């Protein structure tokens, strides 16, 4: 009997993706765990493993096509089963009913629906430990259950309770609807040559996220400048040591550590607003997103537990994340769970700017390029004018949760830490 493979749940809030590549062909034999598709979602390209061992009967999608969670992408025959003749793509959609939802056996109560993505080695481990894979919470991309997931589940020694039905999404968390329908565009080709480029993937996801944030969050920003002259001397002194470890010692690395310290002193900035419950969620962890400009658009991978990592560790981890983000080799889970975001336009030569808050966070820090400027400095002989490396910093806040005083006090502490490398080292203790 033919078995249908549907696009699995790809992560929190993700309902669709774009097919980047189809790795198999009709009539090809595949093993469970083999990569059969590559799908791009809001922020990452995800490799989709086959949940079956068998032969590909139909491929119902093609590169460039947008697919939704639950949509049938392929069908497979059982091992040893005589494959049916290949179905032409033109008739595949018309044959959607050929493999009804009932082709997949309904799950027992408390189990996940559909086949469980896992490698053969993971399945063998589950059998050895007496673990039902359908009850194991997955941690891998595209819902893949890993060997570590199985071991953790076995160590817990009890089954996972059946998940409750998903509650209705609170109105405050729904994507905003435009107050009026989009206006019809004129025919621009009347005035000259035009080119139409698909508005999808990262660019479309960014548009949705920014529209949601701008529509729901009353933005207020506070600006200051940071004298990073001493910090730059410190950075140059130690950058080769960090490069020898495989990292890059950038201003953003120091900003990560300074921000984590400032967030501990101002916990309401490390928060989210639950408008439906009339509560502010104060987070006791410090997972900081860093905006990365890639050829496909802006992405924000998250550096976790910044407060517990050294400058060297952060330099190596951030450099690795940035490289993998550019190569589109980064998992969806690495974009999730951020509590605060830093965006630094300095590498591009940008000066001051006011970024949009990364919803559902309540603040974002925008940094610009450090530039030599005349500044008043204190010397033993008195005040003097000297060339100093000055960097702009803008903190944008959600005025529903925070006030201007919160932003000013946060920036004052951030400025104090960044201007004095000794203070930065003391903040690590």
Catalytic residues: 399
Rg (C-alpha) for the chain, rounded Å, is 26
- Give the DSSP letter of residue 97: G
Residues 6 or more apart from 352 whose CB is under 8 A from it?
223, 366, 368, 392, 394
Q: How far is CA 315 from the centre of its chain?
A: 19
The DSSP result for 185-215, as a single string, is: PP-GGGSS--------HHHHHHHHHHHHHHH
Beta bridge partners of 66: 18
Q: Which helix (H) or strand (E) holds 49?
A: strand 45-49
CA distance 40 to 47: 9
> Considering only CA atoms, which of 217, 175, 206 is closest in space to residue 397?
217
CA distance 212 to 52: 39
115 contacts 32 by C-beta, under 8 angstroms: no
Question: SS3 helix, strand, coil % of the chain, rounded to 5?
Answer: 35, 25, 45
Output the CA–CA distances (angstroms, integers) from residue 149 to 4, 219, 262, in the order listed.
Answer: 26, 40, 34
Side-chain half-sphere CA neighbours of 38 within 13 A: 10
CA distance 324 to 335: 12
């Amino acid at each position: 009997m033919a078995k249908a493979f549907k696009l699995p749940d790809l992560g929190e809030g993700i309902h669709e993706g774009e097919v980047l590549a189809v790795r198999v062909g009709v009539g090809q034999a595949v093993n469970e765990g083999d990569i059969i598709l590559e799908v791009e979602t809001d922020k990452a390209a995800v490799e989709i493993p086959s949940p079956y061992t068998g032969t590909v009967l139909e491929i119902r999608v093609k590169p460039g096509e947008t697919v939704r969670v639950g949509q049938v992408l392929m069908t497979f025959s059982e091992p040893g089963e005589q494959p049916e003749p290949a179905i032409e793509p033109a008739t595949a959609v018309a044959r959607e009913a050929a493999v009804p939802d009932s082709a997949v056996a309904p799950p027992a109560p408390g189990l996940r629906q559909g086949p469980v993505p896992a490698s053969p080695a993971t399945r063998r481990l589950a059998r050895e430990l007496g673990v039902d894979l359908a009850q194991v919470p997955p941690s891998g991309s595209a819902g893949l259950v890993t060997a570590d997931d199985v071991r953790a589940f076995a160590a817990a020694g009890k089954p996972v309770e059946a998940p409750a039905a998903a509650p209705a999404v609170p109105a405050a968390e729904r994507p905003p609807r435009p107050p009026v329908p989009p206006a019809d565009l004129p025919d621009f080709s009347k005035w000259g040559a035009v080119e139409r480029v698909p508005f999808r993937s990262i660019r479309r996801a960014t548009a949705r996220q920014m529209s949601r944030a701008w529509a729901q969050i009353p933005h207020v920003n506070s600006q200051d400048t940071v004298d990073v002259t001493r910090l730059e001397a410190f950075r140059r002194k130690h950058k080769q040591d960090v490069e020898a470890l495989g990292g890059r010692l950038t201003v953003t690395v120091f900003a990560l550590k300074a921000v984590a310290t400032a967030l501990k002193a101002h916990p309401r900035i490390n928060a989210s607003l639950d408008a439906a419950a009339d509560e502010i969620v104060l987070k006791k962890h410090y997972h900081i997103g860093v905006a990365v400009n890639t050829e496909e658009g802006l992405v924000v991978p998250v550096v976790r537990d910044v407060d517990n990592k050294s400058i060297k560790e952060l330099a190596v981890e951030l450099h690795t994340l940035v490289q993998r983000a550019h190569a589109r080799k980064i998992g969806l889970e690495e974009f999730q769970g951020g509590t605060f975001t830093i965006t630094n336009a300095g590498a591009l030569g940008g000066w001051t700017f006011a970024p949009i808050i990364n919803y559902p966070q309540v603040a974002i820090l925008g940094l610009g390029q450090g530039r030599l400027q005349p500044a008043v400095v204190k010397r033993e002989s008195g005040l003097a004018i000297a060339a100093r490396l000055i960097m702009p910093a803008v903190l944008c806040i959600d005025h529903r949760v925070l006030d201007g005083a919160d932003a000013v006090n946060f920036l004052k502490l951030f400025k104090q830490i960044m201007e004095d490398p000794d203070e930065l080292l003391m903040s690590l203790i």
